[in-house]
Chain A
């Protein structure tokens, strides 16, 4: 599979990959933070601002009509991308973080009461911890966390032991941004179906790397960001089952989300506009369509196969590096590798690799409770994407060995 994957052609689509950084060819291994953008996304942004920039939905003129059409077409692309039932289930936000805040704030205020319980896991990103802490404090809800095993997998027995009739919501990450673990989401949701529990899946790391089918998963909510799947920054998606979104109160007030406004009373717009107050990030939403197009044109199964081969290659090489410890060794994981090195602090490592043109992430990766679990204050993290190559991994390993042996 690896031989047939046209990685050389794909790399040409990403102009930034030709950049030199500190006199070395850029090797970009920080894809879990954000991915690079192909020409069709970059060109689409430029095309929008050059040729049809206009506010959407309310204008009658030609530009407004064109912008509205393109914007709404993205919604339709997103719907198909995650196999939602209807465009009404797709809400645009600024990112996955805003999506979680929207759901925690609106759903909890609409349906939960003091003493109700919410469940998250120990491997959550801060964006799937803090919103729940905030609403729990405000409403007197109880926040519980599912333990993870040493290898970085959800302890399903622990999950079962946390559930009771007071449990009303579970919010869990699909793929861990620090460990790379792919959680058994379908199984977890099935367990929750024994109770009246709504389930939110944080799909920020999943969308570029694996096929997502919200109907098959049977999740109630799913959030993700465009910029982690080769799209523009500042665009996220909330998927929610229509019958649930329908009943939820609006999150923000303003233009677009209303039907009629008077000083006595305001009635709200229908879905999905009820949750899209104000002028949205039109140009970037339109650019997002092109990133979905880009992924679809290559084929998600083909991307997944290639990335899995590269993941195995990287893992094999990392395991041979003297004094390197991989944090997160789940069987089912994507090409995200957190690691520490006995002799070199991750902070030094990040800078020394940067001097060689290699971009990795260092620190706690916005998962401080997880770091605490592993008794670490941070790690170095390498994360792969579809344009990375075996040669880049070899160069990385060679550079790493040079740094360690100094």
Chain B
């Protein structure tokens, strides 16, 4: 599935919550809890995403020119957001990752919950996926 279809699916999932703040937060935390357990060996400073208020780790492996991400966060809500980003970007090629325009944050209404200070953290997370893709593009 391409990143656009995955994002559309996420938007559909969230639409049933009708923008209710509390239900959305709880759903986001549930999504985070479902994230595959992070390999403790990868819990290294070099895998930390700089620019996030909470701690966010991201690692990856490449198989058949496709990227597969795993990650973790010390806060439940950020972990939920990270989990959604991993869902969008995992299994994609470097070019697909780099060409993806993230629209699900706005279209789900999650932007309202992220806030202006924390949106820098979201940007840092998105950038990290793209930097990983870019730096491995010709590798």
Which of B69-77, B82-90, B125-133 has 4 or more CB atoms under 8 Å from chain A? Answer: B69-77
Q: Which residues of A contact B20 (CB under 8 A)?
A: 23
Judge whether A22 and B53 touch: CB under 8 Å: no
Judge whether B22 and A347 touch: CB under 8 Å: no
Q: B54 is contacted by which of A22, A344, A345, A356 (Cβ under 8 Å)?
A: A345
Q: A355-B22, A356-B22 are in contact. List 8 more A-B contacts (CB 8 A).
A: A345-B76, A347-B75, A347-B78, A348-B29, A348-B75, A352-B22, A363-B53, A406-B26
Judge whether B22 and A348 touch: CB under 8 Å: no
Per-position binary interface string of chain A over residues 91-110, scored 1 when its CB falls under 8 Å from any chain B CB and 0 otherwise = 00000000000000000000
8 Å CB contacts to A: which residues of B18-40?
A: 20-22, 25-26, 29
Judge whether B25 and A345 touch: CB under 8 Å: no
Q: Which residues of B contact A356 (CB under 8 A)?
A: 22
Q: Which residues of A contact B26 (CB under 8 A)?
A: 406
Judge whether A345 and B75 touch: CB under 8 Å: yes
Q: Which residues of A contact B (CB under 8 A)?
A: 22-23, 344-345, 347-348, 351-352, 354-356, 363, 406
Q: Which residues of A contact B54 (CB under 8 A)?
A: 345, 347
Judge whether A351 and B53 touch: CB under 8 Å: no
Q: Is B113 an interface residue (CB 8 A)?
A: yes
Which chain A residue has the least Cβ–Cβ distance from B118? A347
Query: On chain B, which size bracket covers the interface?
Result: 10 to 19
Q: Which residues of B contact A (CB under 8 A)?
A: 20-22, 25-26, 29, 53-54, 74-78, 113
Which chain B residue has the least Cβ–Cβ distance from A352? B25
In angstroms, how far is the closest chain B Cβ from the Cβ of A33? 13
User: Which of A345, A348, A352, A406 has most B Cβ within 10 Å?
Assistant: A348
* 27 cross-chain CB contacts under 8 A: A22-B21, A22-B22, A23-B20, A344-B76, A345-B54, A345-B74, A345-B75, A345-B76, A347-B53, A347-B54, A347-B77, A347-B78, A348-B29, A348-B75, A348-B77, A351-B25, A351-B77, A351-B113, A352-B22, A352-B25, A354-B21, A355-B21, A355-B22, A355-B25, A356-B22, A363-B53, A406-B26
Q: Which residues of A contact B29 (CB under 8 A)?
A: 348
Which chain A residue has the least Cβ–Cβ distance from B22? A355
Q: Which residues of B contact A354 (CB under 8 A)?
A: 21
Q: Which residues of A contact B25 (CB under 8 A)?
A: 351-352, 355
The secondary structure that dominates the B interface is: helix
- How many A-B contacts at CB < 8 Å in the complex? 30
- Taken together as a complex, chains A and B put the C-alpha atoms of A356 and B29 apart, in Å, by 16
Q: Which residues of B contact A363 (CB under 8 A)?
A: 53
In angstroms, how far is the closest chain B Cβ from the Cβ of A359? 13
In angstroms, how far is the closest chain B Cβ from the Cβ of A285? 29
In angstroms, how far is the closest chain B Cβ from the Cβ of A395? 15
Q: Which residues of A contact B77 (CB under 8 A)?
A: 347-348, 351
- Taken together as a complex, chains A and B put the C-alpha atoms of A351 and B29 apart, in Å, by 12
> Which 5 residue pairs across A and B have the least CB separation, nearest first?
A355-B22, A345-B75, A355-B21, A22-B21, A347-B75
- Taken together as a complex, chains A and B put the C-alpha atoms of A345 and B80 apart, in Å, by 14
Q: Which residues of B contact A406 (CB under 8 A)?
A: 26
In angstroms, how far is the closest chain A Cβ from the Cβ of B80? 10
In angstroms, how far is the closest chain B Cβ from the Cβ of A65? 42
Q: Which residues of A contact B75 (CB under 8 A)?
A: 345, 347-348
In angstroms, how far is the closest chain B Cβ from the Cβ of A101? 24
In angstroms, how far is the closest chain A Cβ from the Cβ of B69? 22
In angstroms, how far is the closest chain A Cβ from the Cβ of B56? 11
- Taken together as a complex, chains A and B put the C-alpha atoms of A352 and B113 apart, in Å, by 10
- Taken together as a complex, chains A and B put the C-alpha atoms of A352 and B76 apart, in Å, by 11
- Taken together as a complex, chains A and B put the C-alpha atoms of A356 and B75 apart, in Å, by 19
Q: Which residues of B contact A23 (CB under 8 A)?
A: 20-21
In angstroms, how far is the closest chain A Cβ from the Cβ of B75? 4
Q: Which residues of A contact B53 (CB under 8 A)?
A: 347, 363
Which chain A residue has the least Cβ–Cβ distance from B53? A347
Which chain A residue has the least Cβ–Cβ distance from B117? A363
Which chain A residue has the least Cβ–Cβ distance from B26? A406
Judge whether B76 and A348 touch: CB under 8 Å: yes
Which chain B residue has the least Cβ–Cβ distance from A347? B75
- Taken together as a complex, chains A and B put the C-alpha atoms of A133 and B77 apart, in Å, by 36
- Taken together as a complex, chains A and B put the C-alpha atoms of A356 and B21 apart, in Å, by 9
- Taken together as a complex, chains A and B put the C-alpha atoms of A354 and B113 apart, in Å, by 10
